[in-house]
Amino acid sequence: MFIKKYSSVKLAQIDLKFATLTISDASSTPVELKVGEGNLTYSESRTIDYTLDRGLLDEVREGDQVPVDVSFDVVWSDMKGGDAKSIIKGEGSYVSTDPDACRPYACDIVITYTPSPSGCGTPSTVTLPDFRWEKCDSDLRAGTLSFTGKCNVNVI
């Protein structure tokens, strides 16, 4: 038998114009932002192992998945529920979505957007569970929010 490894990288960029961005942790008050302008970029890579037996494909097994690299920057027009920066940074009385107390603070990010710039089409949803920030910039007066970080899984 012969095992062959294949690595794939998925890179996506989504225009978040007029999207709704919901940021939540284990507390009861998620933050909802109405986005005026913005982008979401994420990339994920995974390894797939192929087992060949006498030249024929015998088994396909998904290997290790590298955490998804995520960055987004938005200009928002309306915020409900609280302070998005505090939730992502884990400040105050917020509780991480990750049950492992030894891991860094994490929050869930759900983005609902309409694929067409004209506002037509079926809304789509991107979920970034257990997002851990690495860099955070915000200006609450200007309504800007910019984050880079990682999450373990990307659910579209």
pLDDT tens for 47-103 read 777 777 766 666 666 666 668 888 989 998 888 887 777 887 777 777 888 888 888
User: What's the predicted TM-score (pTM) here?
Assistant: 0.74
Residue with tokens 């890579």: 45
Residue 155 confidence class, pLDDT cut points 50, 70, 90: low
pLDDT, position 5: 62
Q: Are 47 and 10 in contact (CB under 8 A)?
A: no
Name the token pair of 115.
């694929």
On the question of pLDDT at 1 being above 60, the answer is: no
Contacts of 130 (CB under 8 A, 6+ apart): 97, 98, 106, 107, 108, 151, 152, 153
User: pLDDT, tens digit, for every residue of 17-55?
Assistant: 888 989 888 876 888 989 989 898 888 776 777 777 766
Q: What is the mean pLDDT of residues 105-125?
A: 78
